[in-house]
Amino acid sequence: MPDRGGGPTGPRIRVGRPSRRVRTLLMTLGVLAVLGMAFTMFAGFWTDWLWYRSVNYSSVFTTTLWTKIGLFFVFGLLMALAVGFNIWLAHRLRPPLSAMSMEQQSLDRYRMGIAPYKKWLLLAITALVGLIAGASASSQWRTWLMWVNGVPFGEKDPQFHLDVGFYAFDLPWYRFLLGFGFAAAILSVIAAALTHYLYGGLRITSPGARATAAATGHLSVLIGIFVALKAVAYWLDRYGLAVKSSDFKATDNWTGLRYVDANAYLPAKTILFCIAVICALLFFATLWRRTWQLPVIGFGLMVLSAILIGGLYPAIVQKFQVQPNEQAKEAPYVEKNLKATRDAYGIDGTQVTEYPGTSKTEDKTQLRDDVDSTASIRILDPNIVSPTFQQLQQIRNYYAFPTNLDVDRYAKDGKDQDTVIGLREINLNGIPKRNWINDHFRYTHGYGVVAAEGTSADSQGRPDFTESDLPSKGDLGTYEQRVYYGEKTTMYSIVGGPQKEIDYSDDSGEKTYSYKADSGVSLSNPVNRAAYAVAFGEPQILYSGAIGDGSRILYNRTPKERVEAVAPWLTIDGDAYPAVVDGRIQWIVDAYTTTNGYPYSSRTTLGDTTADSLTATNDNRAVVAQQNQVNYIRNSVKATVDAYTGEVKLFQWDTKDPVLKTWMKAFPNTVEPKSEISKSLMDHLRYPQDLFKVQRELLTRYHVKDATTFLSGSEVWQVPDDPTNKSGSATPPYYLSMKMPDQAAQAFSLTTTFTPNGRDNLSAFMAVDAEAGTSDYGKIRILKLPTNTTVNGPSQVQSQFNSEQDIAETIRLLRGGDSEVEYGNLLAVPLDGGLLYVEPVYVRGGGLKYPLLRKVLVSYGGTTAFEDTLGEALNKVFGAEGATPEPPDEDDGGTTPPPTSANPNVQEALDDAQKAFEAGQEALKKGDWEAYGKAQKDLEDALRRAEDAQTQGDKTGGGAGSGGGGAKPSGSPSPSGSPSGSPSASPSGT
């Protein structure tokens, strides 16, 4: 029978409160979420610490971290105390009874509502402002470290006679303190005013007085502090005029005092300082007078004075004193700016020499021999031939070369020669099968250096390789060839564990390898694995069986990333370059110290001045610090990054730079002394391109030393646009070995040209000695052409090339079918009062995917030539076609064609060598390796016979006209080191 009672017939249901199981679950999820967020934050911190410790720069991490923490807590606490104290004081000074008015009755509801939570509300407000202020202050760690470690420059500004270090190190910190003080004062005034209003100390609509005496005194003191800080600001503004940028027709980003600053703004700031001090005292006086009348009058006077004295008076001085006689008024200040700017950018020692621009020698054939001694003309353009390196020396698809190769110097037969060099780096896009194991465990590194003579090419227009094949072999000797750190190596790799790596492949198959160095961070610890799994968002790191004892994770693998991380106070050059040094591949990175606080020195934006046609069109050539405005720069540090171990070394280069000395005090034992640079490393250091680009941009105006010429603008130059492409960007500077008119021998140099502002003819040629370790390193020489004559500039020379009928017809024929013509670097070389222009021309013909050197354009004194080789083009330009050319020397790079041998035995051997070479090429196309090997053997035999016959002819006197070592068939490759001489290289290159 059913229950007839009044009780419920089913289970009782509770509404509104979750069950214990649900509460436990929610609590657990909340705890896990908090722990997850905490571990995520810990993972970022821990992995950073592990990385800095792995590269032996943990002091950089700890110094930076503790500085940030210290600034955060000190200034966060100060801001919290300032705001919190004034809220507490305003509450303490509240009137005992509020006026009976509608306004106060409305406020009573808010007062009653927050009464139980007053302490918590006070803590929340102070904590919030403290966190914001602390975070802002921690970002000023560089400013703090420069202030506390600053060293004097030993130079004084011409206006206030203070050391430059005051403006570079002290003034930025004082300005930060002033800004912090303003923020604290304003927030305190707002917080105190709101509290006084809430508790009746301030009244808007209530009858009677608008403010109590306590509120009046409290707010007056706070406003007085604000006005006192304004007085300090006026005083600092006086010194700030020395580093203030302004618009001035003489130059963009003018910095320093002008006539109106020294004679109007400077006295105005002093007067305003005095007025502000008086006004602040009037506000403080309200503690006794309890009236706002005098302070308000004083504050109004200060504002009116700021408008009249600080704004109107300088405008009147500028209008009626400066403009009618600007040059005379501004000249003394322009001279100060000229000197300071030249000093700050290191261009004060620039040697400017008048240069006629035209040759005085009537018989131009005499100049033909002078070309070889004047310059080793580089016809291999490192910005064009990367695809050629890629096709001929990539070997495997998982290797790649950078878009722009580099120019370095390597000794051959006791003489330095310009060399184009690139590393065969790992290219993950070329991996046959992409997966996590392949990407991060098997394909981990590149392999070997590929280098070619910069001054020559083989008969087919390919680079004349001095280091090639896989493993690489050639002139560079024995060195560690594995490239774990490089410009294109951006992915992390896990090495050294149970999973073997792909080393390289040859005819005998695939080679494996296991990383031997101590680089990277060990993953043997499960905490480390968990941290990296979270930091990299890759959970497989935590549980993958491919990770075990000995596993290490490598990341931050580009040279620029590594140097920026270990030296965050440096500005890094946009182009690192590799060099083989003491059996290791070392990336060399130039780094700069900068400041924008050098008095009177005009500012420049690094991103604008270091941009050119290469940064506009290529991905691996970056501009420096895109938005950074500086007015002082030094190449103070040379850094190296080992391509195998990733070891970073910083070397002091500019031993006099006070900015570097300051940072070395802040981060002791991070920069090694200059004396630690080895001779072998010194041989490969060079003058950096980005510094040169900054200096050449400044020298478009600052090559003049007198104020009158500077103000007139008659000597303003510009860097011409690159005529070899359509980017519309500036011509990049070029490295080549050459000698200026006052030099006795060639020196490795960095060169550029200038044209008059708005015109295309040449106005000057600039070169800097780029060979480190020499007495003239860094010396800038400018050859200034006369303004009353017209010498063709780069764009005019390029236009002349394109407009000559014979050249235009040849270019049209070269472009026939699917071929493309690419113009290489247009090099300019001073020669006997004139300018010699040389430009290699490359062709991508038919099915070829890479450019080959086909022609060389040469221009001198209005005469142009367009020939197959540099030697032929020079002969034509200088009217020396009929002369028997001298044997090629190292400076000429072997580009002059060898003379015809007078010895019939030599000639017969050369003919046989030519036939063997052609037979080898034919066999190569057919893939007949047996025939190819036979042809190569015949080629070597023929060359050996030619050499023996030549030697015998020299002994008997019958070979005088053979040119010594010129016994080599036209177009024949060297038996060793060339792509066509290596069966293993050829299939991958085609």
**Span 835-861, mean pLDDT?**
88
What are the pLDDT digits (tens) for 74-117? 999 999 999 999 999 998 888 876 556 666 667 677 777 777 88
User: Is the Cα torsion angle 352, 354, 358, 363 positive or negative in sign?
Assistant: negative
- Predicted confidence at residue 301, as pLDDT, reads 85
Q: Length of the chain in residues, anyone?
A: 990
Over pLDDT 70: what percentage of the chain? 86
pLDDT band of 900, cuts 50, 70, 90: very low
Of the listed ranges 531-535, 719-723, 880-884, the one predicted with least confidence: 880-884
Over the chain, what is the mean pLDDT? 84
What are the pLDDT digits (tens) for 204-222? 766 656 778 888 889 999 9
pLDDT band of 930, cuts 50, 70, 90: low
DSSP code at position 57: -
C-alpha triplet 212, 215, 220: angle, nearest 5°: 125
- Predicted confidence at residue 409, as pLDDT, reads 92
Over pLDDT 90: what percentage of the chain? 54
**Span 747-766, mean pLDDT?**
93
Of the listed ranges 126-130, 484-488, 824-828, 932-936, the one predicted with least confidence: 932-936
Which positions ≥6 away from 300 have C-beta within 8 Å?
Answer: none
Please determine, for residue 2, whether its predicted confidence score (pLDDT) is greater than 60.
no
- Predicted confidence at residue 617, as pLDDT, reads 62
Q: How many CB atoms lie within 10 A of CB 817?
A: 9
What are the pLDDT digits (tens) for 589-607? 999 999 999 999 999 988 8
Q: 181 with 229: CB under 8 angstroms?
A: yes
**Span 847-875, mean pLDDT?**
88
Alpha-carbon distance of 268 to 270, in angstroms, equals 5
Of the listed ranges 319-323, 564-568, 861-865, 963-967, the one predicted with least confidence: 963-967
**Span 58-64, mean pLDDT?**
95
Top-confidence range, 18-32, 127-141, 911-925 = 127-141
Please determine, for residue 240, whether its predicted confidence score (pLDDT) is greater than 90.
yes
- Predicted confidence at residue 34, as pLDDT, reads 82
Burial of 32: CB neighbours in 10 Å, binned 0-12, 13-18, 19+: exposed
- Predicted confidence at residue 980, as pLDDT, reads 37
- Predicted confidence at residue 740, as pLDDT, reads 93
What does the CA dihedral 58, 61, 63, 65 come to, rounded to 10 degrees?
Answer: -140
**Span 14-23, mean pLDDT?**
67
Alpha-carbon distance of 119 to 117, in angstroms, equals 6
- Predicted confidence at residue 214, as pLDDT, reads 87
Alpha-carbon distance of 762 to 720, in angstroms, equals 9
What are the pLDDT digits (tens) for 603-616? 998 888 888 878 76
Q: 626 with 607: CB under 8 angstroms?
A: yes
> Looking up tokens 């910083």, which residue turns up?
650
Closest by Cα among 494, 449, 444, 484 to 645 = 484
Alpha-carbon distance of 920 to 771, in angstroms, equals 41
pLDDT band of 975, cuts 50, 70, 90: very low
Please determine, for residue 971, whether its predicted confidence score (pLDDT) is greater than 50.
no
Please determine, for residue 895, whether its predicted confidence score (pLDDT) is greater than 70.
no
Alpha-carbon distance of 110 to 199, in angstroms, equals 10
- Predicted confidence at residue 804, as pLDDT, reads 84
- Predicted confidence at residue 43, as pLDDT, reads 87
Closest by Cα among 825, 917, 976, 915 to 420 = 825
Please determine, for residue 556, whether its predicted confidence score (pLDDT) is greater than 60.
yes
pLDDT band of 734, cuts 50, 70, 90: very high
Top-confidence range, 78-82, 416-420, 944-948 = 78-82
Reduce the DSSP state of residue 603 to 3 states and report it. coil
DSSP β-bridge partners for residue 605? 629
Please determine, for residue 249, whether its predicted confidence score (pLDDT) is greater than 70.
no
Burial of 763: CB neighbours in 10 Å, binned 0-12, 13-18, 19+: buried
Cis amide leading into 471 (omega within 30): yes
Alpha-carbon distance of 618 to 675, in angstroms, equals 36
- Predicted confidence at residue 12, as pLDDT, reads 47
When comparing pLDDT for 39 and 228, which is higher? 228
Closest by Cα among 869, 894, 866, 899 to 882 = 899
- Predicted confidence at residue 206, as pLDDT, reads 61
Alpha-carbon distance of 401 to 843, in angstroms, equals 20
Q: 213 with 290: CB under 8 angstroms?
A: yes
Alpha-carbon distance of 798 to 50, in angstroms, equals 55
Alpha-carbon distance of 882 to 647, in angstroms, equals 56
- Predicted confidence at residue 884, as pLDDT, reads 42
- Predicted confidence at residue 947, as pLDDT, reads 65
Alpha-carbon distance of 454 to 449, in angstroms, equals 15
pLDDT band of 5, cuts 50, 70, 90: very low
Alpha-carbon distance of 830 to 529, in angstroms, equals 61
Q: 489 with 458: CB under 8 angstroms?
A: no
Whether the model pTM is above 0.85: no
pLDDT band of 500, cuts 50, 70, 90: very high
Beta strands in 190-321 (DSSP E): 245-248, 251-255
DSSP β-bridge partners for residue 501? 513
When comparing pLDDT for 120 and 207, which is higher? 120
Alpha-carbon distance of 256 to 165, in angstroms, equals 16
Alpha-carbon distance of 496 to 517, in angstroms, equals 9
Alpha-carbon distance of 464 to 453, in angstroms, equals 6
- Predicted confidence at residue 621, as pLDDT, reads 55
pLDDT band of 302, cuts 50, 70, 90: confident
Q: 598 with 167: CB under 8 angstroms?
A: yes
Alpha-carbon distance of 168 to 178, in angstroms, equals 17
- Predicted confidence at residue 620, as pLDDT, reads 52
Reduce the DSSP state of residue 917 to 3 states and report it. helix
**Span 492-515, mean pLDDT?**
88
Of the listed ranges 164-178, 627-641, 655-669, the one predicted with least confidence: 627-641
Beta strands in 653-770 (DSSP E): 717-718, 734-738, 747-756, 764-769
- Predicted confidence at residue 505, as pLDDT, reads 81
Please determine, for residue 559, whether its predicted confidence score (pLDDT) is greater than 50.
yes
**Span 12-17, mean pLDDT?**
50
Which positions ≥6 away from 279 have C-beta within 8 Å?
Answer: 227, 295, 298, 299, 301, 302
DSSP code at position 949: H
Of the listed ranges 500-509, 579-588, 743-752, 879-888, the one predicted with least confidence: 879-888
C-alpha triplet 911, 912, 916: angle, nearest 5°: 120
Burial of 375: CB neighbours in 10 Å, binned 0-12, 13-18, 19+: buried
Terminal alpha carbon distance of the chain: 98
Q: 501 with 515: CB under 8 angstroms?
A: yes
Q: 600 with 255: CB under 8 angstroms?
A: yes
Q: 662 with 685: CB under 8 angstroms?
A: no
Which positions ≥6 away from 616 have C-beta within 8 Å?
Answer: 727, 728, 729
Alpha helix segments (H runs only) across 93-117: 102-114
The one-letter amino acid at 319: K
Closest by Cα among 688, 672, 697 to 592 = 688
Alpha-carbon distance of 859 to 881, in angstroms, equals 15
- Predicted confidence at residue 842, as pLDDT, reads 92
Of the listed ranges 136-145, 385-394, 722-731, the one predicted with least confidence: 722-731
Alpha-carbon distance of 733 to 754, in angstroms, equals 11
Phi, psi of 748 (to 5 degrees): -65, 120
Please determine, for residue 31, whether its predicted confidence score (pLDDT) is greater than 60.
yes
- Predicted confidence at residue 200, as pLDDT, reads 78
Alpha-carbon distance of 667 to 670, in angstroms, equals 6
Alpha-carbon distance of 13 to 56, in angstroms, equals 66
